[in-house]
């Protein structure tokens, strides 16, 4: 038997053991207990469920956000704080150069995503 955890990611994004990226609001299953990665007072990885399954049971591939939509939907950059935007840029390997203002950071992220 193994344990499967269902998490919602509340800030930033996360790449799981199957190399799937989960963004803020996504619910996903993993065999790794991510709560140990939360900093004190932080709830980046919110544990929603924990279940025991057979060792050979596959991890479900459906990745949805809290509205039930497809996980690959665009992130609303305007709803993120400057710190969250900086985390998003770092996790997506986006060079912000000298951008420190929210509008400049968003512009740098959008430019990077257009080039991708």
Q: How far is CA 22 from CA 47, 98, 102, in A?
A: 14, 27, 22
Q: Please report, rounded to a whole number, the percentage of residues in the chain having pLDDT higher than 70.
A: 85
Pairwise pLDDT comparison (57 vs 106), residue with the higher score: 106
Q: How would you label 50-88 residue by residue, b for 16+ Cβ within 10 Å and e otherwise?
A: eeeeeeeeeeeeebebeeeeebeeebebeebeeebbbbb
Q: What is the pLDDT of residues 35-78, one digit of tens each?
A: 888 888 888 899 999 999 888 777 765 444 444 444 444 577 88
User: Domain check: are 13 and 48 in the same one?
Assistant: yes
| Structural domain total, the chain | 2
Domain assignment of residue 103, yes or no: yes
User: Domain check: are 46 and 6 in the same one?
Assistant: yes
User: Domain check: are 48 and 12 in the same one?
Assistant: yes
Domain assignment of residue 34, yes or no: yes
Asked if 24 contacts 85 with a C-beta cutoff of 8 angstroms, the reply is: no
Whole-model pTM above 0.85?
Answer: no
């Amino acid at each position: 038997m193994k344990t499967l955890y269902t998490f919602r990611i509340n800030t930033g994004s996360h790449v799981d053991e199957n190399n799937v990226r989960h963004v803020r609001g996504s619910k996903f299953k993993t065999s790794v207990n991510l709560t140990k990665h939360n900093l004190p007072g932080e709830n980046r990885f919110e544990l929603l469920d924990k279940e025991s399954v057979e060792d050979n049971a596959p991890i479900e591939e459906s990745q949805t956000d809290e509205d039930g939509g497809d996980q690959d939907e665009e992130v609303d950059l305007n709803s993120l704080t400057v710190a969250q935007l900086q985390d998003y840029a770092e996790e997506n390997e986006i060079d912000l150069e000298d951008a420190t203002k929210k509008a400049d950071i968003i512009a740098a992220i959008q430019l990077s995503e257009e080039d991708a």
